[in-house]
Amino acid sequence: MAAVPTFAVPPTFLGIKRTDPGAPLCIAGIPLDIGTTNRAGARFGPPAIRQASRMLVDGDHPVHWLNPAALPVADIGDFTIALGDIAGSLATIETQAGAIAHLLALGGDHGITLPLLRALAKRRGPCALIHFDAHVDTWPDNFGQVYAHGSVFHHAITEGLVEPRRMVQIGIRSPVERAVHDWTLAQGVVMITAQEVHEQGPAAVAAQIRHVIGDAPVYLSFDIDALDPAFAPGTGTPEIGGLASWQAQAILRLLRGLPFIGMDLVEVAPPYDVAEITALAGATMVWEYLCLAAGVTT
C-alpha cells in the first residue's frame, strides 16, 4: 500500500517521482483538442487522468502480479503545442516524441496519434496497430479539415506508418459513410464492432487480435469513446452501445506477450465527466498497458 493516503498522492501518473525522458517507459500529456468535431475539452484530459490514477497505487495488479508504479517509468510532464495551429502542433509533437524510447501519451484528441506514429515510423518503420474506438477515424477529412481527429488513421495508412493488414479496430459502432467504411476494409483492416464484442466475448476478441497482429511490433491507440457513455460520459463524441469497461480491461489483459512499442489514451474530456469515472477508466487502461509493456522493457 502507498505510504501516503490516496488523496495525497503526488499529481503525477501513479504518483511516479521519476521525470527524466531517458527512462525506458515515459508518460507524457499532450493537451491538444483543436481537431475535435463535436465537444472540445480533451485538452484537460492529461491532468484528470493523472489525478484519477491515484486510485491505482495501493499494490500489485491482481492478475499480472506486478506493481506498474515500480517499473522503470517516468512522468515527463506535458508536451508543448503550437497554440491554435493543428499542423504546427503535429510537427512539434512528432519532434518531442522522436526522442523517447517508449511513450505512453495522455491526450488530447485522437489527432495526436498521427505525429506519434510518424515518429515511430522514422525509427522502426511501419507497425501493427490495435485501435479501440467507436469510430473508424479513416475519413479523408472532417468538414474540410484534413488533420481533424477523425482522419488520423486515413493518414497513417496512406503515409505507410502502419501495416493495415495487421491493424485491428475494436468497438466500432458510430454512423459512417459507406465509402469510408468500405475503403477501410479494402486496405486490409480488421474491424470488430461493439456488437461483435458483446456477442463473442473478450477471449474470442483477444484471440482474433493476436491472430491478426502475429509477432509484429504493435502500437495501442485507445480512444475512451470505445467505452459506452454509461462507463465514459466524459468524452467529446459519445456513442451508445459501446464496450463496458470490464470488457476492454479483459481484452487488454489477454494480450500479454505481444511486442508493444507505445500507446496513447485519448479523448477524455473532463468537462463532461461524472464523478471522475471517465478519467479513472482512462487511467486504468494506461495502468493495464504498463503491465503489458513490462515484459517488453525488462
Per-domain residue ranges for the chain?
Answer: 6-297
CB 29 within 8 A of CB 37: no
**DSSP letter at 227?**
B
The topology (CATH level 3) of 6-297 is Arginase; Chain A (3.40.800)
Using one digit for the tens of pLDDT, what is the confidence trace for 178-234?
Answer: 999 999 999 999 999 999 999 999 999 999 999 999 999 999 999 999 999 999 999
The radius of gyration computed from the CA coordinates of the chain, to the nearest angstrom, equals 17
Average pLDDT over residues 289-295: 93
The predicted pLDDT at position 19 comes to 96
Q: How confident is the model at residue 2 (pLDDT cuts 50, 70, 90)?
A: low
Nearest CA-CA partner of 90 in 12, 146, 41: 146
pLDDT at 3 over 80: no
* Beta sheet of 25-30, edge-to-edge order: 73-78, 25-30, 103-107, 260-266, 218-223, 127-132, 162-172, 190-193
pLDDT for 35 beyond 50: yes
- 2-11, 117-126, 201-210, 256-265: range with lowest mean pLDDT: 2-11
Q: Which amino acid is at 230?
A: A
pLDDT at 296: 66
Instruction: Encode pLDDT of 52-109 as tens digits.
Output: 999 999 999 999 999 999 999 999 999 999 999 999 999 999 999 999 999 999 999 9
**Which grid coordinates are listed for 205?**
476478441
Res 5: pLDDT: 84
DSSP 101-125: SSEEEEESSGGGHHHHHHHHHHHH-
Separation in Å, CA 285 to CA 130, 183, 220, 267, 280: 13, 29, 11, 13, 9
pLDDT digits (tens, 9 = 90+) for 138-179: 999 888 888 989 999 999 999 999 999 999 999 999 999 999
List the beta strands (DSSP E) in 199-272.
218-223, 260-266
Residue with cell 475494436: 170
3-class SS string, 36-72: CCCCCCHHHHHHHHHHHHHHHCCCCCCCCCCCHHHCC
The band of 298, judged by pLDDT with boundaries at 50, 70 and 90, is very low
CA 148 to chain CA centroid, Å, is: 16
Grid cell 495501493 is found at: 58
With the C-alpha atoms ordered 101, 160, 150, 186, is the resulting torsion angle positive or negative?
negative
